[in-house]
């Protein structure tokens, strides 16, 4: 009887993970970490996975079995025991249904009090899932539709931040839809070089898709006196980025340190709190190394996190202030990780804003708050409690 009473007091939280984006496996690992740390005396988790082709399922492989460094990256897949999840937006918190294979009918998955969309990248972190949940009237963890969409698009993030007087890396934006001719992608290296020169960009350059995360499609382009070689490098980099998004940025590399700051505003309308800024330190860097996908997720020996970053106190406070301003400038809510560049002369430039940062065991967001005395479990509880209130 007491168990039933306890269960009735717990809030049922749907944990969404997987998704159609390139970051699918990272979402799976993040969700596993969240589920392992969730305070089950307060919350009843309802894991819902989204396959790479967009099918929603429950009762598949338990995400808590997935960890970093276990070999192949995990993926949400339908199994003999899994059940497809169907949504009825008009039913609100009662609108999560599961398909019963025996009866051929949809049945209720039960009341859902709130959703924690542990989804990274397009179709999850870009305002799409947030818009769906808004339509259903279901509380959820994280930024709203506008902030999610704007911060997913690096071009528009820079537009908003620049308007707010916040420094960003110099760069140009390309529309590569016109580069497709006769089923072939043709990037005019000469025109690209001219555009870079007109903008006064200095090398090295970083070419990146505007709407992608986890360093997918990012290429570093170093200067070469050989014009043909340089044109080929630029063309190849633009082609790689365009595989992920037709909008492509060419940004000037900033001679500075990459410093990240976690932001928390769990309750809607609350002012943001900022963590001590941290730094991901590559343990075996060389001139061609940058913090790519493998460094972030696949090789736990490639880097380590230092919180606080080894910077003067004034600079640490400047990063925190800039992160808070950036969060407000994009109308942030819930949480974000603001990534900055700190130059030798003390400038702080915002690189990007991640509205659903990684929640893997080696991710910066949780580590930064742990350094502030907020444990991983307490952090997750604050985020969910904030959404519920």
Q: Which residues sit in the known binding site for ATP?
A: 154, 206-208, 214-215, 251-258, 351-352
Domains of the chain: 11-137 (3.40.50.20), 151-168+255-388 (3.30.470.20), 171-252 (3.30.1490.20)
Among candidate residues 30, 336, 363, 381, the one labeled active-site is: 363
**Where do we find the tokens 């997935």?**
66
Query: What secondary structure, in 3-state letters, does 127-171 show?
Result: CHHHHHHHHHCCCECCCCHHHHHHHHCHHHHHHHHHHCCCCECCE
The reported pLDDT for the residue numbered 321 is 98
Q: Which residues sit in the known binding site for Mg(2+)?
A: 339, 352, 354
Q: Which residues sit in the known binding site?
A: 154, 206-208, 214-215, 251-258, 339, 351-352, 354
**Along the 389 residues of the chain, how does pLDDT read in single tens digits?**
334 445 668 999 999 999 998 889 999 999 999 999 999 999 999 999 999 999 999 999 999 998 776 667 899 999 999 999 999 999 999 999 999 988 999 999 999 999 999 999 889 999 999 999 999 999 999 999 999 999 999 999 999 999 999 999 999 999 999 887 767 788 889 999 999 999 999 999 999 999 876 678 999 999 999 999 999 999 999 999 999 899 999 999 999 999 999 999 999 889 999 999 999 988 765 555 555 555 555 555 667 899 999 999 999 999 999 999 999 999 999 999 999 999 999 999 999 999 999 987 678 999 999 999 999 999 999 999 999 98
**Where do we find the tokens 């990272």?**
26
Among candidate residues 27, 30, 148, 214, the one labeled active-site is: 214
The reported pLDDT for the residue numbered 4 is 45
The reported pLDDT for the residue numbered 282 is 81
Token pair listed for 119: 């989804």
Cis peptide before 308 (omega within 30 of 0): yes
3-class secondary structure, 314? helix
Residues in the chain: 389
Q: Which of 379, 265, 275, 258 is nearest to 328 (CA)?
A: 265
Distance CA 389, CA 387 (A): 5
Distance CA 344, CA 256 (A): 6
Token pair listed for 360: 């893997």
Q: Report the predicted TM-score, pTM, of the whole model to 2 decimal places.
A: 0.89
Cis peptide before 204 (omega within 30 of 0): yes
What sign does the dihedral 92-98-100-101 (CA atoms) show? Answer: positive
Distance CA 28, CA 13 (A): 16
Catalytic site residue 363?
A: yes
Distance CA 221, CA 195 (A): 15
Distance CA 250, CA 387 (A): 37
Token pair listed for 343: 């130059």
Distance CA 369, CA 363 (A): 11
Among candidate residues 23, 125, 260, 279, the one labeled active-site is: 23
Distance CA 49, CA 89 (A): 18
Q: Which of 253, 256, 216 is nearest to 346 (CA)?
A: 256
Distance CA 144, CA 129 (A): 10
């Amino acid at each position: 009887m007491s168990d039933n009473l306890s269960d009735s007091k717990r809030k049922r939280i749907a944990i969404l993970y997987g998704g159609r984006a390139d970051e699918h496996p990272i979402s799976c690992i993040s969700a596993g970490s969240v589920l392992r740390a969730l305070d089950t005396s307060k919350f009843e988790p309802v894991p819902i996975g989204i396959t790479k082709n967009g099918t929603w399922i429950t009762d598949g492989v338990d995400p808590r079995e997935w960890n970093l460094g276990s070999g192949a990256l995990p993926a949400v897949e339908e199994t003999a025991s899994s059940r497809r999840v169907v949504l009825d937006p008009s039913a609100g918190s009662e609108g999560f249904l599961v398909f019963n294979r025996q009866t051929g009918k949809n049945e209720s998955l039960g009341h859902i009090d709130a959703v924690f969309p542990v989804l990274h990248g397009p179709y999850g972190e870009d305002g799409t899932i947030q818009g769906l949940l808004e339509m259903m009237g279901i509380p959820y963890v994280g930024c709203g539709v506008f902030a999610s969409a704007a911060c997913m698009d690096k071009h528009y993030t820079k537009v908003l931040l620049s308007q707010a007087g916040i420094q960003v890396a110099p760069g140009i934006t390309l529309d590569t839809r016109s580069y497709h001719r006769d089923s072939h992608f043709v990037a005019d290296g000469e025109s690209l070089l001219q555009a870079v020169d007109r903008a006064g960009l200095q090398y090295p350059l970083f070419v990146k898709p505007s709407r992608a995360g986890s360093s997918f499609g990012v290429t570093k382009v170093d200067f070469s006196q050989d014009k043909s070689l340089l044109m080929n490098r630029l063309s190849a980099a633009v082609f790689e980025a365009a595989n992920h998004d037709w909008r492509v940025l060419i940004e000037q590399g900033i001679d500075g340190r990459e410093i990240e700051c976690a932001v928390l505003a769990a309750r809607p309308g609350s002012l943001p709190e900022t963590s001590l800024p941290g730094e991901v330190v590559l343990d075996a860097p060389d001139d061609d190394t940058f913090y790519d996908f493998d460094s972030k997720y696949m090789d736990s020996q490639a880097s380590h996190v230092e919180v606080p970053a080894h910077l003067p106190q004034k600079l640490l406070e400047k990063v925190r202030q800039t992160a808070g301003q950036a969060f407000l400038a994009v109308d942030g809510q819930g949480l974000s990780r603001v990534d900055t560049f700190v130059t030798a002369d003390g400038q702080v430039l915002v690189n990007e804003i991640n509205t659903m940062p990684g929640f893997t065991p080696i991710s910066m967001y949780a580590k930064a708050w742990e350094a502030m005395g907020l444990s991983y479990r307490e952090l997750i509880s604050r985020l969910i409690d904030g959404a519920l209130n």
